[in-house]
Amino acid sequence: MNAISRNGVSTDLDVVKDKLLKVALKLGKLDDKTVAQINSVAQFVIDDTPWEVENLKPKSFPDFLKCLRPTQSTFNQMVSELSWLDLLNQIEESCFLNEPVIEKARPFIVELWKNEVAQNPFKPPTNWKYLSPKKAVKMYQKITELDLEASSTLKIAEQIKSCRIGEGAAVWPKLSTLTKIFSVSGNPLEDTEQGRKAYSKIVKLLISLVGGAYTKAYSNYSFKGERARVSVNNTRLTFAGRKAWQRLEQATNDDFTIAPANSGSLYAGHSVRHSRIKMTLSEDSFCKNYFPQDCIMVALTIAVQPDRLTKNEHLSIDCPGTCHASDSRKFSLCPFFYWDDGVLQFDNRSADNAHQEFGSASFC
């Protein structure tokens, strides 16, 4: 943010005005508005009124938020000079769970990628719901062969109300619990090399477990997860995905966590980047904040409820809390689960692509 104070300026005003007008003419911006602005500055000086010139060309979204009088044209100019991925990440990092910033940013970002919604989106299986908390806990204990503690989670489950996202409450082992189950060193919630390594290792081990659970439930179906190419260098939590797990870790005092959740229908047909913007901004009378599910939450659900994806017409599940990078596309991809002719697949797709077959999973 550049500012030029009038203090100490002794140049003749007519000379200054002439120079400014010549610059504006050279740039092709000598319109009535520009002339009026130049005259206003000169008048401020004549009247001894304090003033400063603000640089209205921010180079990033945080810079834009610092503008004293942000405008749509300034925002549009900034957007044209940023990659959509940088813009999305900067918006999420600046706004997510930050109400004062959200209110300032809302008029400018609410329209972003709003047209990236496919018509006639697919749906989950008819009347599909998350398992009851008690049954979910038993299923996780069965597939892990561990006596995981769930008393706090089950107590909270009694107090959870239904909401418009409509698929019940999801129960998942905590990320810290999975770290112990898979004997992974490091904290997967830390945005460090060691933390990202821990996270990607859990993803890789869990995907293998999901494949085994799915093919055990449906012996005539198969599972393919190798196309996702999970590694420490290309699979990580988004900013909001990390916040989501931090919230879930604090929700209970046992091995599980619980939250009202939706497996994709709330954002069916949306591009992932559009759904991430909507989650950043969204609030209603029941749920003040929506969080993105990452690929671990979605994988856990499929491990205990493989019936969620068993037909081509079932809505595939994007995992907006996780991002993936390929050699040419740095973290612009999103992991997803989909079913195709007898094969459950775990893969990645571009976050700027709206498709009727996909929807971003969330919770609140």
Residue boundaries of the structural domains of the chain = 61-109, 133-363
Give the pLDDT score at 217.
Answer: 96
Look-up of token digits 């520009």: 34
DSSP designation for 110: T
Phi, psi values for residue 109, rounded to 5°: -105, -10
DSSP state of 273: H
Question: In this structure, what token pair is assigned to residue 131?
Answer: 């398992």
Count Cβ neighbours within 10 Å for each residue of 34-49 and write b for 16 or more, e otherwise. beeebeebeeeeeeee
> Would you state the pLDDT for residue 320?
98
Q: What is the pLDDT along the chain (364 residues), one digit of tens a residue?
A: 433 444 444 456 666 667 667 666 665 656 776 677 777 766 776 666 776 665 558 999 999 999 988 999 999 999 999 999 999 999 999 999 999 999 999 999 999 999 999 999 999 999 999 999 999 999 999 999 999 999 999 999 998 876 666 799 999 999 999 999 999 999 999 999 999 999 999 999 999 999 999 999 999 999 998 766 777 788 999 999 999 999 999 999 999 999 999 999 999 999 999 999 999 998 665 677 899 999 999 999 999 999 999 999 999 999 999 999 986 558 899 999 999 999 999 999 999 999 999 999 999 9
pLDDT at 118: 98
Q: Which tokens is 123 given?
A: 């749906």
CA distance 198 to 179: 8
pLDDT for residue 39? 73
Name the one residue in this structure whose structure tokens are 């940023």: 82
Residue 222: other Cβ atoms inside 10 A = 13
The DSSP 8-state label assigned to residue 143 in this structure reads H
Beta bridge partners of 260: 169
CA torsion sign, 289 to 309 to 130 to 303?
negative
224 CB neighbour count, 10 Å cutoff: 13
- The residues that bridge with 117 in the sheet, in sequence order, are 270
**What pLDDT score does 9 carry?**
47
pLDDT at 272: 98
- Within its chain, how far is the Cα of 262 from the centroid? 15
Task: Give the per-residue pLDDT at 10.
Answer: 44
Structure confidence at residue 109 (pLDDT):
97
Can you give the pLDDT at residue 165? 64
